Structure 1
Amino acid sequence: MRGGRLIGLHLGLVAVLFALNFVLPAYSHGTVARVMVLATYAMGYNILFGYTGLLSLGHAMFFAAGMYGLAMPMTHLGLGAGPALLTGIGSAAVLSLGVGLLALRTRGVAFMIVTLMFSQAAWLTILLAGRWTRGDEGVVIPQADRMLLGLDLSDPSTRYLAALALFSAVLFGTLWLVRQPIGRVLVAIRENEDRAELLGYDTFRHKLGAVVLSGTVSGAAGAAYGLFFGYAGASFAETHYSIFPLLWVLLGGAGTVIGPFLGTLFMFYLIDLTSGLTPAYMLVAGVALVLLTLFAPQGLAGEIRRRWWRGLP
């Protein structure tokens, strides 16, 4: 019964998002499509931070790896959108494996700093390779090239439904993962890694798997963002794009499946609404975020779990 309620909750969210495709005005339609892609990025981050307890400040490198792994072959090799999407995801997977093997030699604050340094190196590489990446100017993917399986992803409705498909796949994939034994091992590592080792689990292997899975999902979001919105830029590899998913996850509820989406949606519309009221919109947003942190420290979904539904994954 509990499993049916959980599936019903997440299916309900997907159904609402699907219905919104037909009723939202143009501006909000595009915004929600963007939110779904970035929420996918946040869900990838949540696997590492929320469920495994590893704080990364370098996830922008995986997002950018997926984005440039798609954009570079399309721009310089004439690769189609489908194969380029796979190269983008593959680039993020390979990078996350390499980073994981090195960064997981450290723990705690050292892990956080190492991931930040790797991310900074990735950002500088994009800038120094400006001949191909066009640096801060970025790469524009022509509308004619944004065709996947015969679908024109520059069309707002098609783009929205493609973003929903990606979001839904990762949402239910995460829900499945956290209910499997491997997901419970990741939570055990988060709570007490030494005890998990005493129980016989290979914590390094599980943490490496979490880094690779998290980086690959984040890279898939980056590749999708580049393909759906037709642009890849160095700004997506900067430090603030590593801070954003952390903020979204904390706002929505770390260690909850639905939290990253709630946090991303809340943050987007908070800034959007306040920017229309005052030039000091970041101050208003900052005050709102501080209040939310003080009175709902477990995030939006975390508070729902604490107050009403303790079984919420």
Structure 2
Amino acid sequence: MSLRIVFLHVCVLGALLLAGFLLPDYHQTFVARALVLAAFAMGYNLTFGYGGLLSLGHSMFFAAGIYGAGLPMLHFGWSASAGLVASIISALILSLVTMSLALRTRGVAFMIVTLMFAQVGAHAVLYFSEWTRGDEGFVLHISQRMLPFGIAPTDPTARYLIAWTICSTALAVTLAVVKSRFGRSLVATRENEERAALLGYNVFAIRLKALLLSAALSGLAGGAYAILFGYVGGNFAGVQYSILPLLWVLAGGAATTLGPVLGTLAISYLIDFASAFTSAWLFFVGAVLVMLVLFFPKGMLGSLRERYARWLP
């Protein structure tokens, strides 16, 4: 890994860290939320951007993280730390079961199967409403969300630093995977599955490992979201949270390490800005996205890499 790649990522993370102490309260909380969701987007990017697998079921991994952390904290009095670990384990178990089956399909069939699994998860949230509280969801009280050393996630600065740590961890994992032998083999399966198999690569195992890692990052983001913002609801299991990470990745640049971070921040602020001025904010957001696709077909960082900086990972 070259020094300038490391330097770039350190500078981006340093700028985001500094922003946490300079931003006003509203933007501090807003960016903290975006950083947690960026970890979700980075997990999605591993399979979609680098693996070429278009999944419409990643909301179930994010929801598995949220409910994996929230349910035991609510019903069994687990600590926030234990809940965060449970969120990762829940997403891993769910991905192992569902993706082992979904990977037996290809192309559009894979997309449809993952969407079906996600819909099953969303309906399960509604069916077991006695535990999950259904669409209404539930709020985790401050006492339930306390972190080690008495850190309260209700403190804006502490919440921002935790969100920054989650995002930094996801970015470090993504960069390490992309630059590893496994990452290169994953890209090989995306570019030419038949040739990769002919060269001796186990395509099924490589893709399953990528999906497990993707689910772990998505579950981590979900658990962090529940702990930092204190709300667990059925809307997080809906198809919207399968479309949003795809949107963030496409906007920032698929198969770029920093693209999901940029895309999540840009789209989140675009939606917030548009909704403040008009009730037809979806039309405004859609128009901007059409322009983005026309002039930056590979996303902001993807197009920048193609035109000016081929070294960007």
Given the two structures, how large is their TM-score scaled by the length of structure 2? 0.98
- 1:92 is aligned to 91
Choose 267-276 or 124-133, whichever is displaced more.
267-276
User: Quick check: 2:77–2:144 contact (8 Å CA) kept in 1?
Assistant: no
Is residue 109 of structure 1 aligned with residue 95 of structure 2?
Answer: no
Question: 1-side partners of 2:167 and 2:129: how far apart?
Answer: 31
The residue aligned with 1:152 is: 152
RMSD: 0.8
- State the Cα deviation string for residues 92-123 of structure 1 (Å, max 9, x = none): 01001111111111111110000000000000
Q: How big is the shift at 1:276?
A: 2.5
The Cα shift of 1:271 comes to: 1.4
Partner of 1:195: 195
Residues 155-211 of structure 1: CA deviation (Å, up to 9, x unaligned): 111010000001001101111110111000000011111110011101110011011
How does 1:261-280 map onto structure 2 within 5 Å? 261-280=261-280
TM superposition shift of 1:7: 0.7
Opposite residue 108 of structure 1, the aligned amino acid is G
What is the CA-CA distance between 1:72 and the residue it aligns to?
0.6
Counterpart mapping for 1:37-76 below 5 A:
37-76=36-75
Report the CA distance between 1:259 and its aligned residue. 0.3
Q: How does 1:198-237 map to 2 (within 5 A)?
A: 198-237=198-237
Letter in 1 for 2:244: F
2:256 alignment counterpart? 256
Count of aligned pairs: 312
| TM-score for both structures, normalised by structure 1 | 0.98
Q: Which amino acid aligns with 2:138?
A: V
> What's the CA shift string for 1:19-39, capped at 9, x where partnerless?
111110111101100000000
Which residue is 1:10 aligned to?
9
Q: Counterpart in 2 of 1:29?
A: 28
Which ranges of structure 2 fall in alignment gaps of 5 or more residues?
A: none
Partner of 2:244 in structure 1?
244
CA–CA distance in 1 between the matches of 2:179 and 2:141? Answer: 41
Deviation at 1:304, TM superposition (A): 1.3
Partners of 2:73 and 2:172 lie apart in 1 by: 30
Instruction: For residue 139 of structure 1, report the CA deviation from its aligned partner.
Output: 1.6
CA distance in 2, matches of 1:235, 1:273: 22
Residue 172 of structure 2: aligned partner: 172
Distance 1:282 1:27 in 2: 22
Question: What's the offset of the Cα at 1:273?
Answer: 1.5
What per-residue deviation string (whole Å, max 9, x for no partner) do you get for residues 248-292 of structure 1? Answer: 000100000000011111101111122222222221111110000
Q: Amino acid of the residue matched to residue 255 of structure 2?
A: G
SS of corresponding position for 1:241: helix
Aligned residues of 2:74 and 2:144 also touching (Cα < 8 A): no
Query: Identity across aligned pairs (percent)?
Result: 52
Match of 1:125 in 2: 124
Report the residue type matching 2:163 in the other structure: A
Show structure 1 runs of 5+ residues with no match.
Answer: none
Deviates more, 1:139-148 or 1:219-228: 139-148
**Residue type of the alignment partner of 1:219:** G
1:54 to partner: Cα distance: 0.4
- CA separation in 1, counterparts of 2:61 and 2:275? 30
Select between 141-150 and 104-113 the one with higher mean Cα deviation.
Answer: 141-150
Note the C-alpha offset of 1:46: 0.3
1:306 aligns with 306
Query: Partner amino acid for 1:53?
Result: G
Please state how far the C-alpha of 1:49 moved relative to its aligned partner.
0.3
